[in-house]
């Protein structure tokens, strides 16, 4: 997966219950390329950003926050994609039988920041949001 732009890449380390299950999800389901790995962690290329899965047994959900009439899981992480990439990923997730926490839909329709969004969880319960703005120039506009 390639980066969408030349902006700096982020690094995020998250806990997972089982590295083999995480490897299937991030590698096969999301289609991320695996980087370096050790017995307790693996690096993943998530659209040009480094996500590291660390073995941390006993993961649990923390909270929810209401946004646009939906209970958004907190914490969560994700990427901003193009609209085409968003729909391709949604189809890929469906083909793998992934259950959405929040089904793909248009949030803030007709407003500043209109965006496609979807939420799902990895096998360890980490919440992931992927989104695509109708106008990419509005990502930080208020």
CATH number of the domain encompassing residue 107: 3.10.180.10
pLDDT at residue 61, as a whole number: 59
Q: Is 95 within the bounds of a domain?
A: yes
Answer whether residue 43 is part of any domain: yes
Is 84 a member of any domain?
yes
Q: Would you say residue 4 lies in a domain? A: no
Beta bridge partners of 74: 63
pLDDT values of the chain reduced to their tens digit, one per residue, 142 residues:
444 467 778 899 998 989 999 999 999 999 999 999 989 999 999 999 999 999 887 766 567 888 888 988 888 999 999 999 999 999 999 999 999 999 999 999 999 999 999 999 999 999 999 999 999 999 888 7
Number of structural domains (the chain) is: 1
120 lies in a domain?
A: yes
In a domain, 80, yes or no: yes
Predicted model pTM: 0.85
- Domain-embedded: residue 31: yes
Any domain includes 67: no
The DSSP-derived string for 87-134 is HHHHHHHHHTTPPEEEEEEEESTTSTT-EEEEEEE-TT--EEEEEEES
What is the domain range of residue 115?
11-57+75-138
């Amino acid at each position: 997966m390639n980066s969408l732009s030349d902006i700096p890449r982020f690094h995020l380390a998250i806990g997972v219950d089982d590295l083999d299950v995480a490897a299937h999800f991030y590698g096969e389901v999301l289609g991320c390329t695996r980087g370096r790995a050790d017995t307790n962690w693996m690096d993943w290329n998530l659209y040009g950003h480094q996500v590291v899965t660390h073995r941390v047994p006993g993961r649990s959900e923390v909270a929810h926050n209401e946004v646009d009439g939906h209970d958004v899981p907190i914490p969560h992480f994700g990427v901003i994609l193009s609209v085409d990439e968003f729909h391709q990923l949604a189809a890929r997730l469906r083909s793998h039988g992934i259950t959405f926490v929040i089904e793909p839909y248009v949030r803030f329709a007709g407003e500043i920041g209109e965006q496609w969004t979807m939420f799902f969880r990895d096998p360890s319960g980490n919440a992931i949001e992927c989104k695509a703005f109708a106008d990419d120039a509005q990502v930080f506009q208020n």
